[in-house]
Each structure stands twice: as C-alpha cells, then as structure tokens.
Structure 1
Amino acid sequence: MTADKTIPVLRIFDYDKAIEFYVGWLGFKINFEHTFHEGAPRYIEVERDGILLHLSEHHGDGTPGTHVFVWCTGLKAFHSELINKPYKYNRPGLEETFYDAWCVTVNDPFNNRISFNEKMSGDKN
C-alpha cells in the first residue's frame, strides 16, 4: 500500500462560525461544499498551503475535540499573520516544544485543535 494523502475530517456544528474561523481567520479556501438537499448538513473541503481538511456537520463524521498535528514551514510568518488579524476567540502563541520545533496551536469553535509545527533549524530566534 502507498498512501497518497491523509485528510482529517473535523466535526463542525455551525457553518458560519466554521467559515469565519477556517476561511476568514486561518486563510483556508473552500474547494467544495456538498449537501444532499437544502437544510441538510454540509460537508466542506478547505485547503491552505497543501493542508486539506474536511469539515462536516454530519452526525458521526468525526468527534469534537479532535487534535490535528501538521508539519510545515514558514510558521513564524503564519503566526504573525494570525495575531495581526482581528479574531477575538484566538490569540495563539509561538511555543518552543520539547521535540525541537516551534508550534502554534489554534482551537476552532467546536473544540478541535490544530497544531502547526516547524522544526527548529539550530536558531531559536
């Protein structure tokens, strides 16, 4: 077996809050949205810089409180982007970890967490 990609499915409960968080604040773009009919739960794919996430209002798709761990580069610039945007529910820090990486953890409105991590390159500044 060879895996092509992994896409976490995160449970959401409010479309507008999810879009405000993932698109408005984190800067993801919507690739697609699906509903079976008007008023049905939505299923959304969002993407940013090679990170794909599926957001689902469907019962049984994911569990609130899921934690997604992402390796990335450019984390300090991403952190600056986030703290300079007006979003009153998050103001993440840039943390030094025990595994020699920088980490920015954000919590979505549904108690899911995403930890963006970048390996330190010897310089801790």
Structure 2
Amino acid sequence: MDWEHRFEAGLPLYVQVSRSAAVLHLSEHHGDGSPQGVVWFPVRDLSALHKELLTRPNAPMRPGIDLAAPGGPTMQVIDPNGNILRFAQSPSAQ
C-alpha cells in the first residue's frame, strides 16, 4: 500500500496501491463500487484522450472534462458493465 486516507477514525478508507507503472485507488466511500466499481487512471494528455473518445461512433456517451475535480481535470466514462472509469490529468503519468 502506497498511502491511505480517512477524514477521521471510523469513516471510509481511501487507499492507493501500485506496482511498476500501474496504480490502483481503492475506495470504501458510498457510491464508489456499489454495485459497480470505480477505477482511476492517470493520463499524461487528458485532452487528447477526450478528443479520441469523441471521434468514436460507437461511444455510449460523450464525456466531458471536469476541470474542478479533486486532484485536477478528470473525465469519467461508464463501461458496458456500469463501472466508472476515471481518467485524470497527471504530468507524471507514463
């Protein structure tokens, strides 16, 4: 485990685990993962990924970029199983 965060004792836990360049955030917060999961992906160029997704004719939705998201600009996509994929701008993404 790289780090963990709780606002105070007894509240839900939020942690980061990683191996090599793969990073996974795990959350106990209400709405994160019930019944589906939430996966966070750091990306170097969020605008380029956003533009690429908007060109796909079979995209189930046309995601926007939330510039005020905690941790920086973030785009959410819902996969066919209802999982939320969060892509966040990160200058250190590889």
TM-score, normalisation: structure 1: 0.43
Residues 4, 118 of structure 1: CA spacing in aligned structure 2 closer, same or farther, 3 A cutoff? closer
Counterpart residue number, 2:14: none
Question: RMSD of aligned C-alpha atoms?
Answer: 3.3
Counting aligned pairs with the same residue, the percent is 26
Counterpart residue number, 1:118: 89
> 1:10-54 deviations in whole A, cap 9, x for unaligned?
xxxxxxxxxxxxxxxxxxxxxxxxxxxxxxxxxxxxxxxx669xx
How far is 1:97 from its partner? 2.3
2:19 maps to 1:5? yes
User: Aligned to 1:77, which of 39, 48, 51?
Assistant: 48
SS in 1 for 2:87: strand
Task: Point out where structure 1 has 5 or more consecutive residues left out of the alignment.
Answer: 7-49, 53-61, 121-125
Q: Distance in 1 between matches of 2:71 and 2:18?
A: 27
SS in 1 for 2:73: strand
Runs of 4+, deviation exceeding 6 Å? none
Structure whose residues are more often helix by fraction: 1
Aligned 8 A contact 1:64 1:110 in 2: no
2:32 maps to 1:66? no
TM-score, normalisation: structure 2: 0.56
Residues 101, 119 of structure 1: CA spacing in aligned structure 2 closer, same or farther, 3 A cutoff? farther
How far is 1:101 from its partner? 1.1
The aligned length equals: 68
SS in 2 for 1:101: coil
Counterpart residue number, 1:99: 70
Q: Distance in 1 between matches of 2:43 and 2:59?
A: 25
Aligned 8 A contact 1:83 1:91 in 2: yes
Task: Point out where structure 2 has 5 or more consecutive residues left out of the alignment.
Answer: 3-16, 24-32
Write the mapping of 1:15-54 to structure 2, written as runs, cut at 5 A: none
